[in-house]
Amino acid sequence: MAISINRRAFSSLIASALIVPIRAAVHANQSDQPSAHDMSNTPEEWTGKERIYMLAYPGMTALDLVGPQYMFASLMGAEVKVIAKDSKPIVSDTGLTIMPDATFNELPEQITLIFAPGGTTGTLNAMRDAETIAFLKMAGARAEYVTSVCTGSMLLAKAGLLEGYKATSHWLTHPALENFGAIPTEGRVVIDRNRITGAGVSAGLDFGLSLVGKFRDQNYAESVQLLCEYAPEPPYNSGSQETAKPEQVHMLQSMLGGFVDLMKAEA
């Protein structure tokens, strides 16, 4: 379940909920959307005009993007678009295929937020792709907020967008931020001026919900949290280096250490 992406979609959600459109006529002229549905129970300050662009690239981790996308899409009035180098389908590292909504050349002159998801080899390839890095530089200059989840911060770092900024990343690549002049900082969500970075994969939910609170207010964000029933109960307790068994930490380090070194070499 999600609060839908824009005023029109939200209106149809309300319609689907059969709320009687009793005051629709009164409000008809207050909306630029063709709508016969009742928006009268929605406070005006709940609707915004954010332009949110989320980078997608082959081999990205889909969950890095889809967690925040859920939260961003709950911002009534916001435009949330997945943007990629071209319009081809994008296959994630888990084999999920996502279609972009826009291509690099369609980025508006001013946007509210640019977001970069992470991954492993796909992210390394993206770091090495001049066009992707040039796009991020451009988007970083046009955006009010420059953001990432997981190893997406390595892409921002490669584009020079984290130099002198506190930032976080996936725990495996966290130390590598320093190679790019960023200040590796502990935290599920790290905010330094207009740079907002989230930790690994699942941190995208905390990251996205934090931003909903920032762009609207606490009551709005709490309602979204209730809608997506975000009262997590992980069945195990090994989500961080501190709580996982040392041999699990070592296994992933040995499995992915070389990959981290390759990322560092891109500095």
Among the listed residues 35, 32, 44, 45, the one whose alpha carbon sits nearest the alpha carbon of residue 13: 35
| Residues 227 and 10: beta-carbon distance below 8 Å | no
Question: Does 227 contact a second copy by CB under 8 A?
Answer: yes
Minimum distance from CB of 141 to a second copy (Å)? 26
Residues in contact with a second copy, shown as a per-residue x/- string from 2 to 41 under the rule CB under 8 A: x-xxx--x--xxx-xxxx---------------------x
Minimum distance from CB of 219 to a second copy (Å)? 7
By three-state DSSP, how is residue 102 classified?
Answer: strand
Residues 73-92 that bind a second copy (CB under 8 A): 73-74, 80, 82, 89, 92
List 11, 148, 153, 202, residue binding a second copy (CB under 8 A): 202
Question: Does 246 contact a second copy by CB under 8 A?
Answer: no
Question: Does 93 contact a second copy by CB under 8 A?
Answer: yes
| Residues 100 and 107: beta-carbon distance below 8 Å | no
CA distances from 65 to 3, 17, 54, 61, 73 (A): 17, 28, 7, 7, 12
| Residues 198 and 149: beta-carbon distance below 8 Å | yes
**138 vs 259, which CB is nearer to a second copy?**
259
Residues 126-155 that bind a second copy (CB under 8 A): 150-151
The piece of 29-37, 128-136, 176-184, 214-222 that touches a second copy (CB under 8 A) is: 214-222
| Residues 130 and 155: beta-carbon distance below 8 Å | no
List 23, 36, 94, 217, residue binding a second copy (CB under 8 A): 94
Paired tokens of 93: 């590292």
Write b or e for each residue in 4-29: b if 16 or more Cβ atoms lie within 10 A of its Cβ, otherwise e.
bbbbeebbeebeeeeeebeebeeeee
**87 vs 141, which CB is nearer to a second copy?**
87
Among the listed residues 165, 198, 170, the one whose alpha carbon sits nearest the alpha carbon of residue 182: 165
Minimum distance from CB of 146 to a second copy (Å)? 20
Among 150, 157, 177, 211, the one annotated catalytic: 150
Specify the DSSP class assigned to residue 119. B
List 106, 121, 134, 186, residue binding a second copy (CB under 8 A): 121
Minimum distance from CB of 44 to a second copy (Å)? 16
Minimum distance from CB of 159 to a second copy (Å)? 20
- Counting beta carbons within 10 angstroms of the beta carbon of residue 246, is it exposed (0 to 12), middle (13 to 18) or buried (19 or more)? exposed
**Residue 228 annotated as catalytic:** no
**138 vs 179, which CB is nearer to a second copy?**
179
Catalytically annotated residues: 150
